[in-house]
Amino acid sequence: MVIEHYINDLLYRYNCVVVPNFGAFLTQKIAARINDKTNTFSAPSKSVGFNEQLISNDGLLVSHIAAAEQATFETILQKLEEVTAVWKTTLDKGEKLHLHTIGSLWNNEEGRIQFQPYLEVNYLTSSFGLNTITSIPVTREVLKEEVLSLEEKIPFTISPEKRRTAFIRPYLKYAALLLLSVSTGLTSYHFYKNTAVGTQIVQQEAQKQITKQIQEATFFNTTPLELPTIALRAEKKYEDVVVAPKHHIVAGAFRSKANADRKIQSLIKKGYEAAYYGTNKFGLHMVTYDRFANPKDAIAALKVIKKEELVDAWLLSEK
């Protein structure tokens, strides 16, 4: 069974696809980007990563394959365990594991799984049909050399009247600079004077407020209080250790909490010990038929429920 095709289908719709007892493929959205060196524009996409620590079965991949193959949940789960065993053997031999359209996996020197995704596939559905675009760099004409050549060709002569004007113009420039300096100095002096007066007033007001607070302060007696000694008798109570049920038969997941509560009341009327399990990572409210501490009892009850109540019921086992 080639399960990478089913993983590929789920990566378009979900951000996390867990392969039981092997690891999880995670996606993360990447914004559009521009490469200045190659002049390429890349559309928004979703990058794929791998985490070998997420091995708990969330039922997503198994249920998807079971619906596509028209097989039972237990049969698909057993086939998945066989495929993942082959994958682990391939990695332990030091060989690379190539998953079509997803990426390649291999073990490093420390025995940790490394992952290299295939960049040809974009799992972001909103960017469907948007390919990488390469633009031609914009070139602008430089006319400096032409201007210089034109200046050399144009004759430049100064008449006697223009020379007289050019001789007087520097003195006018110096006079203007002198007037500007005097004006700037007077303005700065007035600003400094006003600022100094305002600062002095603020400091006087602050000093008055501090003096007033010190005069109004109340000092308390610093002698510590002696509290009476109370003798308490502590007793240890030992209770029987009860194994919490970790195997839950899931009846369904609902978008509305009210629908989940109605489903629980309906199952309780039928004689089941139905309960509210909580919300999954997709925000759906999960309802269970019953829960068991023994996995054999849970599997036996699941077979009866799938036969008499709901074919799509499945088993959720906590690690």
Q: Considering the domain boundaries, does residue 143 fall inside one?
A: no
Q: In the chain, count of helices (H) and strands (E)?
A: 7, 13
Can you point out the beta strands (E) in the chain?
A: 16-19, 23-30, 33-35, 40-42, 45-51, 97-99, 103-107, 113-117, 133-134, 247-254, 275-279, 285-292, 314-317
Among residues 134, 162, 182, which one ends one of the domains?
134
The residue ranking higher by pLDDT, 129 or 96, is: 96
Q: Pick 142 or 33 by higher pLDDT.
A: 33
Q: Is residue 181 part of a domain?
A: no
Nearest to 293 by CA among 236, 227, 241: 241
226 within a domain of the structure (yes/no): no
3-state secondary structure of 172: helix
For the chain, the domain total comes to 2
Q: Where is pLDDT greater, at 199 or 76? A: 76
Q: How confident is the model over 261-307, as pLDDT tens digits?
A: 999 999 999 889 889 988 988 889 999 999 998 988 989 998 999 88
Query: Nearest to residue 76, comparing CAs of 89, 63, 92?
Result: 63
For residue 42, how many other CB atoms are within 10 A of its CB? 18
* Residues 102/25, Cβ–Cβ less than 8 Å: yes
pLDDT digits (tens, 9 = 90+) for 137-192: 665 555 556 656 665 556 555 555 444 554 456 666 667 777 777 667 666 666 65
Show the tokens assigned to 273. 């010990």
Q: Establish if 117 belongs to a structural domain.
A: yes
Q: Which of 114, 134, 154 is the last residue in one of the domains?
A: 134
For the CA atoms of 185, 189, 192, 195, what is the dihedral angle to 10 degrees?
-130
Q: Using DSSP, state whether 145 is helix, strand or coil.
A: helix
Q: Percentage helix, strand, coil, to 5, in the chain?
A: 40, 20, 35
Q: What is the CATH number of the domain that holds 67?
A: 4.10.520.10
**One-letter identity of residue 144:** K
For residue 313, the domain's CATH number is 3.30.70
- 195: in domain: no
Residue 271 domain-assigned (yes or no): yes
Question: In the chain, what is the straight-line distance between the N-terminal and C-terminal CA atoms, in Å?
Answer: 26
pLDDT at 197: 56
Q: Please state, in angstroms and as integers, the Cα–Cα distance from residue 43 to each residue in 33, 130, 170, following that order.
A: 7, 6, 60
Which pLDDT does position 211 carry in this prediction? Answer: 64
- pLDDT beyond 90 at 195: no
For the segment 10-37, the average pLDDT, to the nearest whole number, is: 86
What is this structure's pTM?
A: 0.41
8 A C-beta contact, residue 112 and residue 52: yes
Q: What is the arithmetic mean of pLDDT over 200-228?
A: 57
What's the pLDDT band for 17 if we cut at 50, 70, 90?
very high
> Running DSSP on this structure, what letter comes out for residue 165?
H
Residue 260 domain boundaries? 247-317
Question: pLDDT confidence of 29, banded at 50, 70, 90?
Answer: confident
> pLDDT digit string (tens) for 118-135?
887 877 777 666 666 776
Whether 204 maps to a domain, the answer reads no
Q: What are phi and psi of 187, to 5 degrees?
A: -60, -40
Q: Judge whether 284 and 252 are in contact, CB under 8 Å.
A: no
Amino acid (one-letter) located at 152: E
Chosen domain end from 134, 149, 181:
134
User: What does the DSSP assignment read for 198-240?
Assistant: HHHHHHHHHHHHHHHHHHH--PPP-PPPPPPP-----------
